[in-house]
Amino acid sequence: MELADEAVTVLDSLSDNPASQGRNASRQVEALIHLAQGHNAVALEILSAAAQTNWTQPVTLLGVPPRPLKPAMETYGEVLLESGDAAAALAQFQQGLTRYRSRTNLLLGAARAADALGRTELAARYYTQLSDIWQQADSNHPFIAEARAGK
């Protein structure tokens, strides 16, 4: 928790330039701190706002960092999926994929959310995309077996 609190402070200190994504990244860490403390509603509220900010900020190829290390909509989708709201999670992952095409964690989240909703054909499409991306991946990659099995 001490390291997470320090990360919030450091990320908050980054430039106000939208390309830096510092403030939005700090909100994600702050939300994860609340999640770890059992404040799920607060965490989801913070992540919802961060995802909206992520969506409205411009995507740049240059900046500090060049792109968000982890898009807020990805974090928000993961937390929604873990909390049992697969439909809202799928919507976040799909929205994220319109901006960050073929981002593997967004594809994996979308596949898992679609699978949780019983949308097996949609899940299979996402898993197939992951398998294609990871066709040269090491066999011990943490998600390769899941992607190749389609679950």
125-147 pLDDT, tens digit each? 999 999 999 888 888 888 888 88
- The b-or-e profile of 86-110 (16+ CB within 10 A means b, else e) is bebbbbbbbbbbeebeebebbbbbb
Distance CA 52, CA 124 (A): 28
Q: What pLDDT sits at residue 67? A: 57
pLDDT, tens digit (0-9, with 9 covering 90-100), for 59-115 = 655 444 445 578 899 999 999 999 999 999 999 999 999 988 889 999 999 999 999
What fold, for 2-120? Answer: 1.25.40
**How far from 41 is each of 36, 38, 126, CA to CA, in Å?**
12, 9, 29
